[in-house]
């Protein structure tokens, strides 16, 4: 028997186990979160891809509840930072404090901030000033922080799940482009349907309160991340992701009229990395051990919507980045002739 044939049952077993474990995680989250299937899947995808997620929506849609529920279901250390205009970087990262020991000797001791956790909820992140928002840049990219020339590593797994209010709301600051680019997904949290509203009211206005039980721990998440990295991607599929990314730029062969008309800057290479990792997880969630162009299209809006910068004409006409992405996905062919 060939090595490939011998390994096929093992791969199928791994995929089946992956699907079952994520299904169990979804069931636990569903005890508290009604509907929002795409948002839940997006957050789980970021957790499995070692990425960060930005959740945007008006107050009261359950963004904070979702993050807290996810942290309880995966049995990880969880910290919440409420971003306000007076929040300072040291309130997030920590600071050096002077302490005196038994002999009377004084020395600096680093007091860890709330960033030292596994899941960090940056609640209403765009209510803080850009200086404070930028304090998370190193943590999100390097999973470490530097204070007074000392580097401190954050415990793995570490992800940031940030919520933000729409920029049109009073008292908000737009996130710096460099920080937006470090989010794997930007997920749009929408108002629930009437049916979901009935379920929400039934759950929140009665005496019973469901309890979320941990179903996955940190080592298991790291194990699942390794499986994600092993999912193969055909050269054609990878090339399709690259061409979709190139179509967002003004000066490439793949550039399209809609790009030149409405965009000032396109997505960075992190956009392509996010699409490939997201497509691998999408394939696994559907019971497949191979990513496809359809998987790329499924995750592209969440990967690219926050990485495209509109020009003056795009802003003046109220064009949404999702509209542009939809047209790009329609026009960029799967096979390059």
pLDDT in tens, 106-133: 777 788 889 999 999 998 888 888 888 8
pLDDT score of 2: 40
Give the integer Cα–Cα distance in Å for 35 and 196: 6
pLDDT score of 168: 58
Q: What is the pTM of this model?
A: 0.87
Q: What is the DSSP letter of 190?
A: P
- pLDDT band of 307, cuts 50, 70, 90: very high
Q: With a cut of 90, say whether residue 49 has pLDDT above it.
A: yes
Give the integer Cα–Cα distance in Å for 85 and 82: 10
Q: Which residue ranges form the domains of the chain, and what is each CATH number?
A: 9-201+215-229 (3.40.50.300), 231-337 (1.10.8.80)
Question: Residue range 265-291: average pLDDT?
Answer: 94
How many CA within 13 A on the CB side of residue 53? 29
The model's pLDDT over 320-333, given as tens digits with 9 standing for 90+, comes to: 899 999 999 999 99
**Average per-residue pLDDT for the chain:** 86
> Taking every pair of C-alpha atoms in the chain, what is the biggest distance, in angstroms?
77
Q: With a cut of 50, say whether residue 62 has pLDDT above it.
A: yes
Q: With a cut of 90, say whether residue 318 has pLDDT above it.
A: no
Instruction: Give the residue carrying structure tokens 């415990």.
Output: 155
The model's pLDDT over 201-223, given as tens digits with 9 standing for 90+, comes to: 877 777 777 788 888 888 899 99
Q: With a cut of 70, say whether residue 40 has pLDDT above it.
A: yes
Give the integer Cα–Cα distance in Å for 133 and 14: 39
- Residue 107 pairs in a beta bridge with 99
Structure tokens at 124: 């209403």
Residue ranges of E strands in the chain: 53-56, 78-82, 94-100, 106-112, 119-123, 144-147, 150-153, 159-164, 185-188, 263-265, 309-310
Q: With a cut of 90, say whether residue 243 has pLDDT above it.
A: yes
Sign of the alpha-carbon torsion through 167, 170, 175, 176: positive
Where is mean pLDDT largest: 3-7, 95-99, 249-253, 274-278?
Answer: 274-278
In sequence order, the 6+-apart residues with CB closer than 8 A to the CB of 141 are 182
């Amino acid at each position: 028997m060939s090595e490939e044939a011998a390994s096929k049952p093992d791969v199928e077993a791994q995929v089946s186990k992956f699907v079952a474990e994520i299904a169990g995680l979804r069931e636990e989250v569903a005890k508290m979160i009604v509907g929002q299937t795409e948002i839940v899947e997006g957050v789980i995808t970021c957790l499995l891809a070692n990425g960060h997620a930005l959740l945007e929506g008006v107050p009261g849609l359950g963004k904070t509840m979702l993050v807290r529920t996810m942290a309880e279901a995966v049995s990880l250390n969880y910290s919440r930072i409420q971003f306000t205009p007076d929040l300072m970087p040291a309130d997030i990262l920590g600071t050096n404090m002077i302490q005196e020991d038994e002999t009377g000797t004084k020395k600096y001791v680093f007091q860890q901030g709330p960033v030292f956790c596994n899941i960090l909820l940056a609640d209403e992140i765009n209510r803080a000033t850009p200086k404070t928002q930028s304090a998370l840049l190193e943590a999100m990219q390097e999973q470490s922080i530097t204070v007074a020339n000392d580097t401190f590593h954050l415990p793995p797994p570490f992800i940031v799940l940030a919520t933000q209010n729409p920029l049109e709301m009073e008292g908000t600051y737009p996130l710096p482009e460099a920080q937006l680019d470090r989010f794997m997904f930007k997920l749009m949290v929408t108002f629930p349907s009437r049916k979901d509203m009935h379920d929400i009211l039934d759950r929140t206005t009665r005496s019973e309160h469901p309890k979320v039980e941990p179903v996955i721990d940190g080592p298991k998440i790291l194990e699942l991340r390794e499986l994600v990295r092993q999912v193969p991607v055909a050269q054609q599929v990878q090339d399709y992701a690259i061409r979709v990314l190139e179509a967002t730029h003004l000066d490439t062969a793949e550039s399209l009229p809609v790009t030149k008309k409405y965009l000032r800057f396109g997505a960075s290479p992190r956009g392509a990395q996010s699409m490939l990792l997201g497509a691998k997880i999408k394939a696994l969630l559907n019971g497949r051990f191979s990513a496809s162009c359809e998987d790329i299209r499924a995750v592209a809006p969440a990967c690219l919507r926050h990485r495209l910068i509109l020009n003056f004409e795009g802003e003046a006409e109220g064009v949404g980045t999702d509209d542009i992405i939809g047209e790009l996905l329609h026009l960029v062919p799967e096979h390059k002739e």
